[in-house]
Chain A
Amino acid sequence: MAVAVALTLEICDFTPSALAYTAAGDRLFPATLVLPQIAPTDEFYVWGWTLPLGGGSTGAPDRLSNFDATYAKTITDNLGIVINSGSQNYTRIDRVGAGSLSGFQNFDTELKYLTITDGPHEFLLSLGLDREWGGTGAARVGASASGATTPRVYFGKGLGDMDIGYLRPLAITGFVGYQIADTPPRPDLFTAGFTVEYSIPYLQSKVQTLDLPEFIRGLTPMTEVLFTVPAGQSFGARTTALIAPGITYAGTGWELGIEALVPANRSTGNGGVGVKAQFHMSLDFLFPDTIGRPLFSQR
């Protein structure tokens, strides 16, 4: 049970940061819900998700839920830190014929550095170094006693520079990472994922302005796909895959997103489809002169 819950948490609760207004030229990459984002920024966001599990005999988990709040702060224009405090990352496990278990996850931080911004080609590349601090969460809800360090490479690419007509609002973001556990029996994991998104705001502002309702103009449909693959000794861990189709709405300095959580194999979940919702505030937009500024900005 512990391994299954930990892996499900690993894949559903993956997002160490979610940034609106991550931009390359006129391409804005909206906040994703499952995948990590591709650049540092100033933001605060909360999310909640729930996923039915397979259940089974008495005491087996039949639902997993999580609620979280995250703060991200830019240190310079290109360097930022993401703080996912364990004290705000609350997990609840409902069990068959037994009481639910609840508790907090491990404290997690990540440094992220934006290395390439190519506006004309709508391309971004960032490097990240994530650190999960082992033993800071509750083992009963899957928090590992062992910490882990994960270097990552992030990218984002809009297709607006290509002559493909109404497909120009398409963009792809993604990452690859390698999670190195501090101590066994926690396995090392190869992690990767990608997002395909179609930006209606981009369509309206760069391709063709259509007479769409106000609400539709702010939408970006997207589908996220996330994998984890054990590397080396697995300690019972298996490959997981999650598909998360959904939609995000961009307001003025905030975004609201909702996605279905569709386990792609039994290792990810066998109880059905879950759901994740996220509310995100861009502090650099809402408070550009105070908490939204980098600590050391050249601008």
Chain B
Amino acid sequence: MPSIDAPVLPNLLRGALIAAAIVLLSTSFARAAPAGTVVGLFGGCFVETGGSRSVAKIGQPVQVGDTVDVPADGKLKLRMSDGSVISVAAGTRITIAAFTVDAAGQRQDARLSLGQGLLRAVVAPVEHPASFEVDTAVGTAAVRSTDWFVEGSATAMQVGVLTGSVDMTSAATKRRETIPARWGARLEAGRDPVPPRVWSKAEFDAVIARTDVQ
């Protein structure tokens, strides 16, 4: 019996090694393909990777797990690997929690974590169902393709939509509001979302100015 088992074990071992190699190769490939790239910068901004903090530069790649820290005097723009563009306002911290694209560059899953601050996301359209989510301390905003703003803090978030529509869901109550183009809505910690309303030109102008990165 041992003579029969003997060649089986090396085969299993070889298979396991091959599988491990494939996983490692795919992982290293994933790390090699950045989630996005810094394409606009104003003031001193930072990218935090695995506990180390470096000054952001034009052309610098950002990976899943990285945190972008934009101080009060800065602004930053990212072009993501699916073509989406994220403009980050001053006083914002955002972490790329997940970002995967398929071989054709189509987004499969994107999730950003907005600790505080404001961002504008021009989300690239995709041919198949794929979400683009921004998590805040109090809720989640999810879209497919649209041009929109989300601002978050520890106690509230608000969403404004220029084109398309955004679903905002309360983390506490799971209640959701759909926000169409030209509308916006707020969400306070522990509450249902406030029903959306039409945003004024002044309100849109304010968030556009804050996220305008030349």
Give the B-binding residues of A (Cβ under 8 A): 21, 23, 26, 28, 41, 77, 117, 201-202, 204-206, 209, 217, 250, 252, 284-286, 288-289, 293, 297-299
Give the A-binding residues of B (Cβ under 8 A): 163, 172-173, 175, 178, 180-183, 186-188, 190-201, 204
Q: Total number of A-B contacts with CB less than 8 angstroms?
A: 63
Residue of B181, B192, B196, B201 most packed against chain A (CB within 10 A)? B192
In the complex, the answer to whether B188 meets A206 with C-beta atoms within 8 Å is yes
In the complex, the answer to whether A209 meets B183 with C-beta atoms within 8 Å is no
In the complex, the answer to whether A23 meets B186 with C-beta atoms within 8 Å is no
Residue of B178, B200, B204 most packed against chain A (CB within 10 A)? B200
Closest Cβ–Cβ distance, residue A203 to chain B (whole Å): 9
In the complex, the answer to whether B195 meets A288 with C-beta atoms within 8 Å is no
Can you name 19 extra interface pairs (CB under 8 A) apart from A205-B186, A299-B204?
Answer: A21-B195, A23-B198, A26-B194, A26-B197, A28-B195, A28-B197, A41-B198, A77-B200, A117-B200, A209-B172, A209-B190, A209-B191, A284-B182, A285-B196, A288-B182, A289-B181, A297-B182, A299-B182, A299-B200
In the complex, the answer to whether B192 meets A293 with C-beta atoms within 8 Å is no
| Given A77-B201, A209-B173, A288-B183, A252-B194 contact (CB < 8 Å) | no
- Across the interface, name the chain A residue whose C-beta is closest to B162: A299
B193 surroundings in chain A (CB, below 8 A): 205
Residue of B178, B181, B197 most packed against chain A (CB within 10 A)? B197
In the complex, the answer to whether B192 meets A204 with C-beta atoms within 8 Å is yes
| Given A209-B190, A289-B181, A298-B201, A250-B195 contact (CB < 8 Å) | yes
Say which residue of A206, A217, A293 sits within 8 Å of B194 (CB atoms).
Answer: A206
A252 surroundings in chain B (CB, below 8 A): 178
A28 surroundings in chain B (CB, below 8 A): 195, 197
Closest Cβ–Cβ distance, residue A44 to chain B (whole Å): 16
In the complex, the answer to whether B192 meets A288 with C-beta atoms within 8 Å is no
- Across the interface, name the chain B residue whose C-beta is closest to A77: B201
Residue of A117, A206, A250, A285 most packed against chain B (CB within 10 A)? A285
In the complex, the answer to whether B197 meets A21 with C-beta atoms within 8 Å is yes
| Given A77-B200, A285-B180, A289-B181, A205-B190 contact (CB < 8 Å) | no
A299 surroundings in chain B (CB, below 8 A): 182, 199-201, 204
For the complex, what is the distance from the CA of A129 to the CA of B179, rounded to whole Å?
A: 32
